[in-house]
Amino acid sequence: MVAGNIKFEQNPSANKNQTKAIKTIIGKRKVVVFASTHKGEEEKIIHAYLNQPLDALMLIIPRHPERFDEVYKLAKSTILRPLNALTMLRPQAMIYC
């Protein structure tokens, strides 16, 4: 039985090696995060980004994890260079889905 709110009861652990790797990849770029997105929003976000490019790393995190592949494919259908953040981190990435 769980008492309380599990969102607030968890103590996330930080992996120093992962944190260092992420900081190296991001470098001095700004990071723009679109979290908890819904179907249809990602297309608008990507379209806006393509029309007004930023020197920033864009993270798109769909509300429902089962949509990760769908959003990745959407980004991949453009000139952006998306990467799946769950499988790889690379400095040349423009967008992580």
* pTM of full prediction above 0.85: no
Mean pLDDT on 58-69 = 89
* Confidence band of 88 (pLDDT split at 50, 70, 90): low
User: CB of 60 within 8 A of CB of 34?
Assistant: yes
What distance in Å separates the CA atoms of residue 81 and residue 75, rounded to the nearest whole number? Answer: 8
DSSP E strand boundaries for the chain: 30-37, 56-62, 82-83, 95-96
Closest CA to 97 of 73, 54, 51, 5: 73
The total of other beta-carbon atoms located within 10 Å of residue 25's CB is 17
Tens digit of each residue's pLDDT (9 = 90 or more) over 29-55 = 888 899 999 999 999 999 998 898 777
Q: Where are the domains of the chain?
A: 37-97
